[in-house]
Amino acid sequence: INCAHWTMVAEKDPLLRSRWQAPTSSFDDMLPFQGLRGVCAMAIFLGHQTDIFLASPFHGQSVVVGLEYLQAVSLFFLLSGIPLVRLYSTPKKVNDWAGTVDFWRKRAARLAPMYYLTLVLNLVAVVLSVEKLDVSATLESFFGCAFLLQTWVPSFINIGGVLWQVATFAYGYALFPFLSRRLERWSDGVLGFGIAGLWLFSAALWAAILALCPPGPSQDLALLIWHVHCVSRLPQIIAGVLLGALVERWREEPHLNRNRWAIVTDLLSLFLLATAVQAPVRQWMNGTSARLDDSIGMEAVFLPLHALWLAGMVLAYRPEEPERVCCTRVVLSARLLLALGDISLVLYCVHIPVLFAYSMVFAYVTTGDWHLAPTIADYDLRVKAPCWHAPFQWILVLAVSFLVARWFEAPMRKWLSAAGPKSATRSAVEPAPRAAPTQQFGGQAV
């Protein structure tokens, strides 16, 4: 999206301009979210690569280096609500049934092609890579994921893999129109208490696991279930929507101290960076399990900090004084990160089947057998590529992601979005000729 161009258009339209705020139709203030999506997708890719597919050169370590990448999952859920509120809630596009159906159709067009392509690729990878295929368990997992059940029944997760997060998004999008219609009725205090309550509910489930499950395999399994379960994740998506409503109100305040928000945002960036730096040290000293437990704990506890950080990225934006910058905004708006943000969904979905294909080829070349694991439930691969293969895997995964985004995801999304009836709803204050520029954000059709 050419944000500068549409900002100029909006500034010339008195209906889209006010005295104190940036133009309503401009998304310049949310541009860092696109780069953040790219960072989160890359963090998850690199985390899975080092955790599962690479052999460590260090004695006693199961992976090359410990990465703190699980916070990226919480950030994905939380940040999704902020642009949705501006795109749909503020102009009241989902306030009637026709608008709601149109929203669901566009969200399905966004998620479904990559979801089901990845599900089929995962099935092929599992069938080819395991030595003893349990057909019944495989089909149960496949059809459970096909109907988006793995985020409610984690035992179905094996074939779906990372698709549990996409399934959770689908449930969040299903709820969004009903939540959106009520945002105007709630005061800032109600929205703030709502975010706090949702955070406490999700965090309380995590704390209950620590309190009730003895340390060991049972606790590790319970924490993994918390990590992927809809009951603990849907509150984060809803909190993101409430946060988006607050941000939309606060950014219009005439006396908003944007310099203070920029400072707070940059300080939080340093803190979150420190949590990433500690991960390899923690793993080196205490092992992979301890590092993973810490990561899940940070997911549960840090949601208020994540919310403050994301809000600050928007509220620190100062269009009339571009020389006053927020360093976090500058870094996340870099062209490379924006390009990764454009393909974040594709990168998130395809990296696992691509890494499996690479590992099977490597296993066949080195051992004459492409099988990687005894059964579908075994995650410790029989053969792992040496760590110096990592750059080749990066190139392969990124190349496949760009190709799939260019030749499959984008055409399918556009075709499915255009296939249904156009929504007839339009806000009374929304200028009809100017509505088109707001139909894309962060490389995705909305």
**Element housing 55 (H / E):** strand 54-55
Region 165-169: mean pLDDT is 97
User: Token match 């984060």: residue?
Assistant: 236
Region 191-220: mean pLDDT is 94
Q: Which residue has the higher pLDDT, 111 or 132?
A: 111
Return the pLDDT at 155: 87
What is the number of helices (H) and of strands (E) in the chain? 18, 4
- Assign 291 a pLDDT band (cuts: 50, 70, 90): confident
Question: CB under 8 Å to 13, separation ≥6 — which residues?
Answer: 23, 431, 434
Question: How large is the greatest C-alpha to C-alpha distance in the chain, in angstroms?
Answer: 70
Return the pLDDT at 133: 87
Region 407-434: mean pLDDT is 66
Region 128-155: mean pLDDT is 93
Task: Quote the tokens at residue 168.
Answer: 């959770």
Return the pLDDT at 95: 92
Return the pLDDT at 125: 93
45-52 long-range contacts (CB < 8 A, ≥24 apart) are 45/347, 45/348, 45/351, 45/397, 48/162, 48/351, 48/352, 48/355, 49/351, 49/355, 49/390, 49/393, 50/390, 51/288, 52/355, 52/379, 52/381
In percent, the amount of the chain with pLDDT more than 90 equals 65
Task: Quote the tokens at residue 209.
Answer: 């696991």
Region 195-210: mean pLDDT is 96
- Assign 66 a pLDDT band (cuts: 50, 70, 90): low
What's the angle, vertex CA 199, arms to CA 252 and CA 99, rounded to 5? 55
Region 222-243: mean pLDDT is 96
Q: Examine the pLDDT at 198 and tell me if it is beyond 70.
A: yes
Task: Quote the tokens at residue 353.
Answer: 């089947």
Contact 312, 267 (CB under 8 A): no
How far apart CA 273 and CA 258 sit, in angstroms, is: 22
CA 165 to chain centre: 8
Q: What is the pTM of this model?
A: 0.86
What's the whole-number average pLDDT of the chain?
Answer: 85
Q: Examine the pLDDT at 427 and tell me if it is beyond 80.
A: no
Return the pLDDT at 373: 87
Q: Examine the pLDDT at 12 and tell me if it is beyond 60.
A: no
